[in-house]
């Protein structure tokens, strides 16, 4: 029988829908309205077709907020971004398992070494079991982001069938009571 756990929900609105010309005031407004974290969608134009923000935007925003900046990197080579996002003031660095199957252990260690909280994300078509080794590792991820839309575009319809992945993960994680499983809605 799976242990019963009560994970605290985190409200992490995607800043992708913000007025980027007024990002600091948008962030302040989200926090004032109850956001626990600010979800920063980082896209490289390769892993996903769209191109969004990078480390310079995180650095600029950090000057105006103390909020947890939950950076979700939808990029082909997440290792290339660790140092820059650490220096910029990112709180969390979530990479996709689909592009880090061969180097995730080193990636997690590097993320932690730069003072960020490591997380892993998976696309709707990726089996949740693919992230189990990252949760069980000696140096594990601290967050699992279950995508409920295809990465790369805002405004998509929520895929309720992805909630089974969240349930499977919660049953699997057993003693991982401190781990977060955010489910963003873009």
- Kindly report the length of the chain: 186
Q: What is the pLDDT of residue 158?
A: 83
DSSP for 118-134 reads EEEEE-TTS-GGGGHHH
Flag the least confident range among 33-42, 67-76, 145-154, 177-186: 177-186
Give the confidence band of 169 by pLDDT, cuts at 50, 70, 90. Answer: low
Q: What is the pLDDT of residues 105-129, one digit of tens each?
A: 999 999 999 999 999 999 999 998 9
**Strands of 37-43's sheet, edge to edge?**
37-43, 68-74, 92-96, 117-122, 143-146
- The domain segmentation of the chain, as residue ranges, is 23-169
* Higher-confidence position of 52 and 157: 52
Residues 6+ apart with CB under 8 A from 158: 148, 149, 185
Q: What is the pLDDT of residues 72-87, one digit of tens each?
A: 999 999 999 999 999 9
Q: In CATH, what class is 23-169?
A: alpha beta
Please report, in angstroms and rounded to a whole number, the separation of the first and last CA atoms in the chain: 34
């Amino acid at each position: 029988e799976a242990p019963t756990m009560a994970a605290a929900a985190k409200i992490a609105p995607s800043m992708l829908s913000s007025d980027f010309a007024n990002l600091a005031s948008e962030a302040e407004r989200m926090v004032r309205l109850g956001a626990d974290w600010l979800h920063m969608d980082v896209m490289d134009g390769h892993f996903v077709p769209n191109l969004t923000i990078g480390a310079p935007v995180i650095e600029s925003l950090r000057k105006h907020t103390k909020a947890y900046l939950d950076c979700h990197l939808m990029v082909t080579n997440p290792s290339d971004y660790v140092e820059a996002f650490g220096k910029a003031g990112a709180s969390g660095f979530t990479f996709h398992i689909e592009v880090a199957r061969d180097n995730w252990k080193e990636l997690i260690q590097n993320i932690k070494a730069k003072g960020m909280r490591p997380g892993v994300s998976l696309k709707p078509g990726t089996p949740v079991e693919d992230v189990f080794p990252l949760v069980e590792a000696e140096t594990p991820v601290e967050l699992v982001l279950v995508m409920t839309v295809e990465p790369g575009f805002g405004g998509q319809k929520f895929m309720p069938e992805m909630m089974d992945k969240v349930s499977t993960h919660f049953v699997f994680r057993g003693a991982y009571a401190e781990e977060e499983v955010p489910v963003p809605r873009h």
